[in-house]
């Protein structure tokens, strides 16, 4: 039963994220937008490029979807409302996000086009930059919770949200989350101006619909992960827990979607350099800091 | 029964499909030919009409043709049309004959109101005709491919039949090249399906597969395609290496097996030190990151540009009748040369003719001309900001600059233009304060010091070259805007300052509409003039025979800057190369002649 | 019973994907087949109720194999596999090595003293806790050494790759 509820909540959340995405890019709020676009996409032809690597071309969109769903499956929406409360939940979230990269790589190689290829390999470079910055803040979060259970991570924040307890980790994880979802300014694989939509360039019709849906779901899942790990999950006065999770998640998603409009796209060399030269030392400092605070507070 | 939509999808219109058709009508996405820059200059705003702008024809449902298109662009547009998934339609905005494309579904003139009406009409057509029981196919020469068989290790060995290579014994693999008959279909196609991924000069490249004739591309460097190129590709990307001095072979001693290391030994190394295969990829003429109509072919070494070929005159643009035009029609004809800055060229023609007639326009006319020219300059620079913002991924700039540009072009008098000054000021300050922008653009697009340039490109290199110095501009307290740096950042700052300066000049001139010149009979047989167009100084020399223009000699700033594309793009990463080319602000129309 | 079925299924999948690695001539397919082979092993771990190991395996292999895909494309000719090149080399030596390896593995599996079969598996949360204690107490030296060795290798590789400035 909770599985059905969670999936329904994810579906609703993805729809709202798609509306937010439309609003962020055009400035107009169109509540029926995703529905109309989805129907229109279903009605379009789905063209296959002339000589694709067929397996990769077909598998990439569903894999993107599956990776996002798997990550969402271990994140709690409210006390008791979780698909599966894995004992290694926090780590599993990271594992499933790694398959996002595999999906984008397949989408880059599959269609046999120069733009998609450059986009796919750029994303791999981006992964090398952000992957540490996902795991290390999660480590610090797990340290405070003294468990990898995502529900424990939420309950450990009852006194103070992790965003305030470990702000450095919060900032790093937020940026890394934007990079996983390849949102601007980390949208190297898509790069609308430079690569004519890069990895998405060759997808049309219902396949494009699946890719877009998968990406919106990914944004939602990442926002949910940020909420669970850093913003105290379902805690909050007055409203029921699931409402707080929803509000926080959608707020995070809105910020993620709109920040990129005001900054130029980051060069891949810069992303790699900053990720390794500044990001990782800062993440280590964060772990050290959290460790010290935990020991002192005991 | 006539099919309501030129690009219907062949299927019976079941109720669910009707729903999809209605949805397609409400969710229109347009691919603009030659590009959104020309669309804005013509004063049309697709976004305000409720149509999204797509970056690639594959994500679009409507092909929007703006203005008269040269022959080469029409062919490119046809290939883009072939790439669009059905249902699809064509909207012609002020365009003439558009063959080889099918008849446009909706014709409008270049005004926003007509555009809105046209879009409504288009929606109606989509809702009715998205699915039809009989759909027309679309087949053009460029998307037919013929197959030949080539050895992956010895690209010079080709044959029309499958077999094995006489040199190394490997099986010949099929490779397709343009021009011929032999194409494959794909799923979901309707009758007469020719909508496969075409090797197109516009947006997307289709190759025959991974891995085949890479050697061909690196050995045969003259391999330009202008688009009809089917280069093989496989790359690998990067890591963060800065170079290898030695590479290990890893123990491959089997015969007939060659590692990439051996194959690329001795070839020149790209700037990031990574040794990779070379692939040709066309970027243009309908590429979203470049000015519409500019056609480049990058030979990519990984993601670094190893080589650029930029053919001139690829658009096939010939202005008939320019060379035997009666003098009174000449300014209008010259204005058609460059849809991105018609006023500047009209002024150029008028001044050249006035020089031939040995007359000088009175002060009031000259002031009005200044106002019109400066308004166009401001609008052109804003249009450039919009395109540059799109290339940078800076969506706010793309949107805002485009809006202000449209407002400027629609302004009826100097009052309305003056109202935009505050908006422009805000935009300029915001761009200056954008984080990471200067860092992103620093060092991109640098030209050698000896390069002969003009316009903002020259002024960004510290040279105070401006054809406006002197004459009436001195009475308006004009000083050329000069910056140091000679790179993309400096050009951006230069153009930002010039926009503000131009609006001030418009305010001082007090008029923005171009006055019609009165031409008296020319006394001399030659005349010449120079005008500072938004992109640089353009010079025109005319020879007259009586009342008729007999010969013209025109130098445009874009033809001057075109030769620097290689210097700006080579040995740079793709994104940096595109930014460098964009910073030159080329007008492909000015290059075609 | 169900557990044995799943373990066997994922094991067979791992072997099958491993075979695909060499049967295909496309480099990228080969690398990604190896990825899925390793992921199947991770799934095996999950089926055997070692949750942490399973999740760790899934996570690490995704990233590692994708990076391997890049290297394969970079260093090998014809990554698309259209030339139909044979992916196997040094056939005799590898057959011998493979056979020896299989024998060694079987010997270890059958003859090593594994101790009594565990009839009850600790709960996943307890496993995570015990694993943590183990790493921090008894096996700390091993993991520290491994970690420092990897770090040294990373630094050395980067240093070698940098072009020497004269």
Name every chain B residue with its beta carbon within 8 A of the beta carbon of A26.
47, 52
DSSP chain A: -HHHHHHHHHHHHHHHHHHHHHHHHHS---TTHHHHHHHHHHHS-----SS--HHHHHHHHHHHHHHHHHHHHTS-SBTTB-S---TTHHHHHHHHHHHHHHHHHHHHHTT--HHHHHHHHHHHHHHHHHHHHHHHHHHHHHHHHTSS-HHHHHHTTSSS-HHHHSHHHHHHHHHHHHHHTT-TTS-TTT-HHHHTTGGGTT--HHHHHHHHHHHHHHHHHHHHHHHHHHS-TT--SSS-HHHHHHHHHHHHHHHHHHHGGGSPPPPHHHHHHHIIIIIHHHHHHHHHHHHHHHHHH-
Q: What is the pLDDT of residue B184?
A: 26
Residue with tokens 């954008």: B434
pLDDT at position B114: 86
Contact C74 B171 (CB under 8 A): no
- What dotted CATH number matches B322-592? 1.10.645.10
Distance from CA of C137 to the nearest CA of A (A): 17
Assess whether the region B9-132 and the region B322-592 belong to the same CATH fold.
no
Q: Which member of C58, C66, C123 has the closest CB to residue A124?
A: C66
Contact flag A45-B85 (C-beta cutoff 8 Å): yes
Answer yes or no: is pLDDT of A175 > 90.
yes
Chain C contact set for A105 (CB, 8 A)? 32, 66, 69
- Count A/B contacts: CB-CB distance under 8 Å: 202
Please tell me which of the candidates C35, C62, C128 has its beta carbon nearest to residue A148. C128
Quickly list DSSP for B445-510.
T---TT----HHHHHTTT----TTSSTHHHHTT------S--SHHHHHHHHHHHHHHHHHHHHHH-
The answer to whether A205 contacts B233, with C-beta atoms less than 8 Å apart, is no
pLDDT of residue A68: 92
Contacting residues of C for A91, CB less than 8 Å apart: 52, 55-56, 59
CB contact under 8 A, B55 and A197: yes
Torsion angles phi and psi, residue B541, rounded to 5 = -120, 125
- Tell me if A46 and B574 make a contact (CB, 8 A cut-off): no
| Cβ contact, residue pair A106, C51, below 8 Å | no
* Closest Cα in chain B to C68: B236
d(CA A185, CA A270): 12
Give A47's pLDDT tier (boundaries 50, 70, 90). confident
A94 to chain C, any CB pair closer than 8 A? The answer is yes
CA distance B39 to B46: 8
State whether residue A130 sits within 8 Å of chain C by CB: no
Whether residues A118 and B188 touch (CB distance < 8 A) is answered with no
Assess whether pLDDT exceeds 80 at residue A185.
yes
Find, among A71, A54, A60, A51, the residue nearest to A105 by Cα. A60
Give the 3-state secondary structure of residue B524.
coil
Closest Cα of chain A to B591: distance in Å? 23
Q: pLDDT value at position B111?
A: 84
Of residues A220 and B322, more confidently modeled: A220
User: Residue ranges per domain, chain C?
Assistant: 1-80, 121-166
A157 and A139 in contact (C-beta within 8 Å)?
A: no
Asked if B204 and A115 come within 8 Å (Cβ–Cβ), the reply is yes
Would you call C79 and B273 a contact, using CB atoms and an 8 Å cutoff? no
Place of tokens 């063209």: A47
For residue B62, which of B112, B16, B17, B120 has the smallest C-alpha distance?
B120
Structure-model confidence comparison of residues B388 and A198, the more confident one: B388
* Closest Cα in chain C, distance from residue A105 (Å): 8
Looking at the complex, report in whole angstroms how far the Cα of residue C90 sits from the nearest Cα belonging to chain B: 7
Q: How far is CA B183 from CA B146, B176, B203, in A?
A: 7, 9, 19
Interface test with A, best of B204, B439, B582 (most A CBs within 10 A): B204
Q: From CA B38, how far away is CA B402, in angstroms rounded?
A: 11
Question: Using an 8 Å Cβ cutoff, are B348 and B529 in contact?
Answer: yes
Query: Min CA distance, C34 vs chain B (Å)?
Result: 18
* Closest chain C residue to the Cα of A111, Cα to Cα: C80
Residues of chain B neighbouring C162 (CB-CB closer than 8 A): 242-243
More confident residue, B160 or C56: C56
Confirm if B361 and B393 have CB atoms less than 8 A apart. Answer: no
Shortest Cα distance from B163 to chain C (angstroms)? 12
Provide the pLDDT for residue B225.
28
Q: What are the backbone angles phi and psi of residue B309, rounded to the nearest 5°? A: -120, 130
Point out the residue among B209, B258, B273 whose CB comes nearest to the CB of C77: B258
- Classify residue B538 as left (phi > 0), alpha (psi -120 to 50) or beta: beta
**What does the pLDDT read at residue A139?**
93
Q: What is the SS3 assignment for B428? A: helix
Bond into B136 cis (ω within 30): no
CB spacing of A88 vs C26 below 8 angstroms: no
Identify the residue whose tokens are 């056939």.
Answer: C91
Contact A98 C32 (CB under 8 A): no
Most confident of A58-72, A182-196, B536-550: A58-72
Residue B391 to residue A121, Cβ atoms within 8 A: no
Domain boundaries, chain A: 2-297
Smallest CA–CA distance from B275 into chain C, residue = C74
Please give the backbone phi and psi of residue B361, each rounded to the nearest 5 degrees, phi first: -70, 155
Interface test with B, best of A18, A44, A200 (most B CBs within 10 A): A44
CA–centroid distance for A161 within its chain: 20
Q: Kindly report the CA angle at A194 between A188 and A200, in degrees rounded to 5?
A: 60
Whether residue C108 is predicted with pLDDT greater than 80 in this model: the reply is yes
CA of A221 to nearest chain B CA: how many angstroms apart? 24
Domain boundaries, chain B: 9-132, 322-592
Query: Cβ contacts (< 8 Å) between C163 and chain B: which residues?
Result: 242-243, 245, 273
A203, closest residue in chain B (CA to CA) = B58
User: Residue B57 is encoded by which pair of tokens?
Assistant: 């024809």
Question: B20 CB near a chain A CB, below 8 Å?
Answer: yes
A98 Cβ under 8 Å from any chain C Cβ:
yes
Write down the pLDDT at residue A284.
Answer: 94
C24 touches chain A (CB under 8 A): no
Task: Answer yes or no: do B17 and A204 touch at CB < 8 A.
Answer: no
Sign of the CA dihedral running B256, B257, B261, B267: positive
DSSP bridge pairs for A78: A81
The answer, for B171 touching chain C at a CB cutoff of 8 Å, is yes
Q: Do C75 and B259 touch (CB under 8 A)?
A: yes
Nearest residue on chain A to B284, judged by CA atoms?
A: A196
Alpha-carbon distance of B477 to B265, in angstroms, equals 61
Nearest by Cα to A131 from C67, C135, B546:
C67
Q: Residue A222 and residue A181: Cα distance in Å, rounded?
A: 8
Distance CA A50, CA C135 (A): 53
3-state secondary structure of B91: strand
Q: Best interface-test mutation with C: which of A87, A90, A129, A280 has the largest number of C CBs within 10 A? A: A87
Predicted confidence (pLDDT) per residue in C2-22, tens digit? 888 999 999 999 999 999 988
Q: Is B437 on the interface with A (CB under 8 A)?
A: yes
Distance in angstroms (rounded) separating the CA atoms of residues A174 and A167? 10
Contact residues for A80 (Cβ-Cβ < 8 A; gap 6+): A2
CATH class (in words) of the domain with range B9-132: alpha beta
Tokens of residue B395, six digits? 């969506």
Mark the ranges of chain B whose per-residue pLDDT is less than 50. 1, 178-258
Q: How far apart are the first and last CA of chain A?
A: 40
- Report percent pLDDT > 90 for chain A: 43
Partners of B211 on chain C (C-beta within 8 Å) are 77-83
pLDDT score, position B177: 55
- Are the C-beta atoms of residues B463 and B482 closer than 8 Å to each other? yes
- The dihedral region occupied by C111, where left means phi > 0, alpha psi between -120 and 50, and beta the remainder, is alpha
Residue B413 structure tokens: 């008098």
* pLDDT for residue A97 is more than 50: yes
For residues B63 and B244, give the distance between their C-alpha atoms in angstroms, rounded to a whole number: 47
pLDDT digits (tens, 9 = 90+) for B241-270: 323 322 333 333 333 444 555 555 555 555
Q: Which residues contact B309 (CB under 8 A, 6 or more apart)?
A: B224, B226, B296, B297, B299
pLDDT confidence of residue B260:
52
Work out the pLDDT band at C97, boundaries 50, 70, 90.
Answer: very high
- Residue B313 CB coordination number (10 Å): 12
Which SS3 state, helix, strand or coil, does residue B552 take? strand
pLDDT at B204: 33
Of the candidates B20, B377, B25, B355, the one whose C-alpha atom is nearest the C-alpha of residue B188 is: B20
Interchain contact C164–B (C-beta under 8 A): yes
Q: Tell me the whole-structure pTM to 2 decimals.
A: 0.84
Token pair listed for B455: 């316009």
Q: Which of B160, B163, B10, B140 is nearest to B76 (CA)?
A: B140
């Amino acid at each position: 039963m909770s599985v059905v509820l969670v999936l329904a909540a994810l579906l609703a959340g993805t729809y709202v994220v798609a509306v937010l995405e439309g609003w962020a890019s055009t400035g107009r709020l169109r509540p029926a937008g995703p529905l109309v676009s989805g129907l229109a996409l279903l009605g379009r032809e789905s063209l296959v490029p002339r000589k694709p690597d067929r397996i990769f071309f077909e598998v990439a969109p569903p894999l993107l979807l599956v990776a996002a769903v798997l990550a969402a499956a271990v994140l709690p929406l409210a006390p008791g409302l979780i698909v599966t409360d894995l004992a290694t939940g926090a780590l599993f979230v990271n594992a499933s996000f790694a398959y996002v990269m595999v999906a984008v790589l397949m989408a880059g190689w599959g269609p046999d086009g120069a733009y998609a290829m450059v986009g796919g390999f750029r994303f791999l470079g981006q992964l090398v930059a952000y992957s540490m910055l996902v795991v290390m803040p999660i480590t610090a979060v797990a340290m405070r919770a003294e468990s990898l259970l995502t529900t424990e991570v939420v309950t450990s924040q009852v006194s103070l949200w992790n965003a305030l307890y470990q702000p450095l980790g919060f900032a790093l994880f937020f940026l890394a989350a934007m990079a996983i979802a390849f949102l601007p300014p980390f949208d190297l694989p898509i790069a609308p101006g430079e690569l004519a939509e890069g990895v998405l360039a060759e997808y049309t019709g219902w396949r494009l619909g699946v890719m877009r849906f998968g990406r919106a779901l990914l944004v939602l899942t990442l926002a949910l992960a940020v909420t669970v790990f850093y913003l105290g999950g379902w805690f909050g006065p007055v409203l029921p827990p699931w409402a707080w999770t929803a509000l926080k998640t959608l707020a995070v998603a809105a910020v993620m979607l709109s920040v990129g409009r005001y900054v130029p796209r980051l060069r891949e060399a810069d992303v790699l350099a900053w990720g390794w030269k500044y990001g990782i030392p800062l993440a280590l400092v964060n772990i050290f800091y959290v460790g010290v605070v935990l020991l002192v507070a005991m | 029964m006539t099919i309501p939509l030129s690009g219907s999808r062949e299927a019976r219109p079941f109720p669910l499909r009707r729903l999809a058709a209605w949805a397609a009508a409400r969710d229109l996405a347009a691919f603009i030919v030659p590009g959104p820059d020309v669309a804005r200059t013509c004063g049309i705003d697709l976004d305000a009409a409720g149509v999204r702008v797509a970056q690639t024809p594959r994500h679009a449902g409507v092909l929007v043709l703006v203005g008269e298109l040269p022959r080469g662009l029409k062919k490119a547009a046809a290939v883009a049309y072939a790439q669009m998934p059905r249902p699809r339609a064509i909207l012609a905005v002020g365009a003439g004959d558009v063959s080889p494309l099918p008849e446009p579904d909706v014709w409008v003139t270049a005004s926003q109101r007509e555009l809105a009406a046209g879009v409504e009409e288009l929606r109606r057509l989509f809702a009715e005709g998205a699915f039809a029981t009989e759909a027309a196919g679309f087949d053009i020469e460029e998307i037919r491919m013929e197959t030949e068989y080539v050895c992956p290790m010895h690209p010079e060995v080709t044959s029309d039949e499958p077999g094995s290579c006489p040199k190394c014994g490997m099986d010949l693999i099929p490779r397709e090249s343009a021009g011929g008959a032999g194409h494959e279909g794909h799923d979901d196609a309707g009758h007469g399906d020719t909508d496969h991924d075409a090797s197109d000069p516009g947006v997307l490249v289709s190759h025959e597969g991974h891995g085949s004739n890479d050697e061909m591309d690196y050995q045969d460097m003259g391999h330009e395609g202008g688009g009809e190129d089917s280069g093989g590709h496989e790359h690998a990307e990067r890591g963060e290496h800065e170079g290898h001095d030695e590479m290990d072979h890893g123990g491959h001693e089997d015969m007939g097996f060659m590692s990439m290391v051996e194959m690329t030994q001795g070839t020149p190394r790209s700037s990031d030190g990574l040794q990779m295969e070379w692939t040709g990829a066309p970027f243009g003429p309908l590429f979203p990151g470049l000015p519409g109509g500019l056609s480049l072919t990058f030979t990519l070494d990984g993601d670094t540009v190893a080589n650029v070929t930029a053919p001139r005159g690829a658009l096939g643009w010939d202005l008939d009748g320019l060379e035997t035009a009666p003098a009174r029609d000449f300014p209008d004809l010259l204005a058609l040369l460059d849809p991105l800055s018609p006023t500047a060229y009209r002024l150029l023609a008028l001044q050249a003719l006035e020089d031939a007639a040995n007359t000088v326009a009175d002060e009031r006319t000259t002031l009005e001309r200044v106002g019109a020219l400066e308004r166009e300059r401001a609008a052109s620079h804003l249009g450039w900001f919009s395109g540059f913002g799109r290339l940078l991924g800076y969506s706010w700039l793309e949107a805002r600059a485009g809006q202000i540009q449209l407002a400027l072009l629609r302004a009826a008098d100097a009052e309305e233009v003056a109202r935009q000054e505050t908006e422009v000021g805000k935009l300029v300050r915001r761009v200056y304060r954008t984080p990471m922008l200067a860092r992103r653009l620093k060092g991109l697009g640098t030209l050698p010091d000896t390069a002969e340039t003009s316009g903002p490109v020259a002024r960004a290199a510290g040279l105070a070259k401006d054809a406006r110095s002197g004459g009436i501009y001195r009475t308006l307290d004009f000083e050329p805007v000069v910056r140091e740096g000679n790179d993309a950042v400096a050009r951006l700052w230069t153009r930002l300052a010039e926009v503000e300066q131009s609006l001030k000049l418009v305010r001082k001139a007090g008029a923005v509409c171009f006055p019609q010149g009165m031409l008296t009979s020319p006394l001399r047989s030659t005349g010449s003039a120079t005008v500072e167009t938004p992109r640089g100084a353009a010079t025109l020399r005319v020879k007259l025979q009586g009342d008729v223009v007999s010969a013209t000699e025109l130098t445009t700033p874009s033809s001057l800057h075109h030769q620097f594309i290689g210097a700006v793009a080579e040995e740079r990463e793709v994104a940096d190369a595109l930014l460098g080319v964009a910073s030159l602000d080329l007008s492909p129309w000015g290059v075609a002649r | 019973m169900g557990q044995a079925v799943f373990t066997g299924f994922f094991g067979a999948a791992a072997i099958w994907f491993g075979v695909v690695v060499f049967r295909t001539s496309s480099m990228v397919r080969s690398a990604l087949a190896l990825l899925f082979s390793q992921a199947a092993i991770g799934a095996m771990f999950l089926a055997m109720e070692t949750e942490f190991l399973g999740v760790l395996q899934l996570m690490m292999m995704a990233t590692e194999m994708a990076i391997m895909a890049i290297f394969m494309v970079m260093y090998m000719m014809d990554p698309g596999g259209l030339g139909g090149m044979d992916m196997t080399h040094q056939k005799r030596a590898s057959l011998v090595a493979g056979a020896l390896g299989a024998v060694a593995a079987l010997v270890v599996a059958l003859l090593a003293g594994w101790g009594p079969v565990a009839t009850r598996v600790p709960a996943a949360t307890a496993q995570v806790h015990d694993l943590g204690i183990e790493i921090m107490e008894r096996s700390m030296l091993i993991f520290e050494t491994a970690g420092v060795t990897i770090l040294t290798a990373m630094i050395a590789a980067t240093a070698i790759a940098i072009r020497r400035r004269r």
